[in-house]
Amino acid sequence: MTGPDPEDLTARARIRDAALWHFGEHGFDRATIRGIAETAGVSSGLVRHHFGSKEALRDACDAYLVRALERINDQVRADGADDGVNYVAVTGAVFGPHQKYIARALSEGRAAPLFDKLVELGQQWLAEVDEKRSDRPDLPLKDRAVVGAAMTLSIAVLHHHVSRGLGVDVLSPGGAEVLAPILLDLYSHPYLSPREAAEFRSRLGKDGNKD
């Protein structure tokens, strides 16, 4: 299992967690230093002492989520597939409390560091998988990682709809037990066979050359 962030026992961490909540509930523009300070149980002056500005506080929130993502990725790589840990559940436990922040920030065009880190890690995983493929991908690694990151984060953005459709909160421990096999099934059973995909690619190429 992933260990806690060493910062999590400090006043700085309480401020960060309060900011994650306020930014998620109210959005970055409407959230205030005073409200964040009240929730954290500190003075507005201490918030400014630690972070300087609301923008820097938002950056710290993003950096915290990036570190959490890196720790989970490192743990998956260290443990492999034989450890029996449901990493969908681990991810949900880490990021679930901040779902509103992630969803709102992404929809507002923010949280770029989190998105970019997911793209970076996605490229690493895809590069390793590509080496084992008999049908090598046609498109650039980064392009596929960018779209893959968007697909992965869509569950956080569409959390309520996904949970409603599956009949369980997908960020809860029970929801993770439902979601994990669905994701495995989708990844292991693509919609198109290699032959069908080749036919569609051929048609796209022909359509693009009509003019």
Q: CA-CA distance, 174 to 207, in Å (whole number)?
A: 46
What pLDDT is recorded for position 157?
A: 94
Mean pLDDT along residues 163-169: 97
Query: What is the spatial distance between Cα 83 and Cα 98, in angstroms, rounded to a whole number?
Result: 26
Tell me the residue length of the chain: 211
* pLDDT(48) > 90: yes
Closest by CA position to 60, among listed 97, 14, 106: 14
- In-domain check, residue 1: no
List, in order, residues 6 or more apart from 75 with CB less than 8 Å away. Answer: 1, 2, 87, 90
**137 part of a folded domain:** yes
pLDDT band at 211 (very low <50, low <70, confident <90, very high): very low
Q: What is the pLDDT of residues 89-108, one digit of tens each?
A: 999 999 999 999 999 999 99
Which range of 55-59, 131-135, 205-209 scores highest in mean pLDDT? It is 55-59
User: For residues 83 and 47, which has the higher predicted lDDT (pLDDT)?
Assistant: 47
Question: Higher-confidence residue: 79 or 211?
Answer: 79
Tell me, yes or no, whether 154 lies in a domain. yes
- What's residue 68's pLDDT? 96
Q: Say what the alpha-carbon torsion angle 200, 204, 205, 207 is, to the nearest 10 degrees.
A: 130
CATH of the domain at 60: 1.10.357.10
User: What's the structural domain count of the chain?
Assistant: 1
What phi and psi, each to the nearest 5 degrees, are found at residue 140?
-60, 145
The residue range of the domain holding 196 is: 6-208
